[in-house]
Amino acid sequence: MPAARISGVGMYVPPKVVRNDDLRAFYDTSDEWIYTRSGIKERRWAEEPASTAELGYYAAQEALQAAGKKAVDLDLIIFATLSPDLYFPGSGVLLQQKLGLETTPALDIRQQCSGFVYGLSIADQFIRTGMYRTILLVGAEVQSTWIDYAPEGRTVGVLFGDGAGAVVIEATEALGRGIRSSHLYSQGAYAMELCIAEPSSATRRHILPGSYGMRPYMNGKEVFRHAVQRMGEAIQVALSTQNWHPNEVDLYVLHQANIRIVQAVAEFFGLPMDKFFNNIHKYGNTTAASIPICLYEAQAEGRLKAGDKVILAAFGSGFTWGSVALIW
């Protein structure tokens, strides 16, 4: 049975940098509040007419190049986003068209901040069964268009950013490399704790021309508490399945929602923070894009080498969460 291995990573963030102090144009906030509560210093915002599929396309091109593959080599595209270009169809088919492909299947998944972890698990299953050998997984978001710029939107608005990350996942017969296990969870009882409930098919509200019309909601403290507990559990099950001691793992890459969440998880396992790769200070929370952007930068900085033991974990809206253990 082949294993699934990440063979190329790419990322793209829009050039426009928005620093914490720049947000004071909309909100009663400060660099001090945002940085001490979340670890964020700045984020990127796409300038119109950039779309989620377009950001994903730039990241995908880099991942393909890194893997030494062409778009025509792809058997499947998986697109993870909570901010698709359109209500329907999904951004996957838009990316497929941008890549110049004719009939390659494109699958969109809606697992928000856990989208990349879910996507890796899905890719792993397709490769293990032998159905596909080369899969592109993209996590991309344009969130600056749903942020609520009204004063009451500040708690959520300061946290999120735009960006994209992509990986090429290939079948490998080389023993000991690739994805070793994945564990996925969700709990719809908490669906309304972090959501954009309008516009929706349930409310039949429509966005008026010239108005954003979105009202994101987050119960920050509840999300924080669950994020620490659930990512801790998901990491523990990954460690137990692999029979790895926490210290034996070379690098942990957790979804970048709040540096204090990562610190709490590190503390739970008694691990130093240098076992965790973080870049939230530069990009804020890029939802489905955050883990692949971390993988790209970790590799570029020499913190991911062939044979390294790696654990990825994510938690987000749904609630959804999960972990992946892999040998880089």
Which residues are marked as active site? 113, 255, 285
Return the residue nearest ligand UT7 (CB atom).
Answer: 220
> Judging by DSSP bridges, how do beta strands 134-141 and 163-172 pair with one another?
antiparallel
Q: How far is the CB of 228 from ligand UT7 (least distance, A)?
A: 9
Task: Provide the 8-state DSSP code for 293.
Answer: H
Could you tell me which residues come within 8 angstroms of residue 75 by beta carbon, excluding any fewer than 6 positions away? 104, 105, 126, 131, 132, 133, 134, 135
Supply 90's token pair: 């999904």
Q: How far is the CB of 146 from ligand UT7 (least distance, A)?
A: 14
CA distances (Å), 193 to each of 31, 75, 111, 228, in order? Answer: 26, 36, 15, 16
In DSSP terms, 42 is beta-bridged to 19
Residue 121 has, within 13 A of its CA and on its CB side, a CA count of 22
Nearest approach, Cβ of residue 68 and ligand UT7 (Å): 33
Measured from the CB atom, the residue of 167 and 261 that comes closer to ligand UT7 is: 261
The H-or-E segment that residue 313 falls in is strand 309-316
Residues found near ligand UT7 in the complex (CB under 6 A):
27, 29, 33, 37-38, 113, 154-155, 158, 194, 220-221, 223-224, 227, 257-258, 261, 285, 316
Q: What is the smallest separation between the CB atom of 156 and ligand UT7, expressed in angstroms?
A: 7
Q: Cβ of residue 251: shortest distance to ligand UT7, in angstroms? A: 20
**Cα–Cα distance, 168 to 105 (Å, whole number):** 15
Query: Residue 196 or residue 223: which is nearer to ligand UT7 going by CB?
Result: 223
Nearest-10 Cα torsion for 225, 227, 231, 234: 90
The residue among 61 and 155 lying less far from ligand UT7, judged by its C-beta, is 155
- As a whole number of angstroms, the distance between CA 129 and CA 126 comes to 5
User: What are the beta bridge partners of residue 169?
Assistant: 6, 135
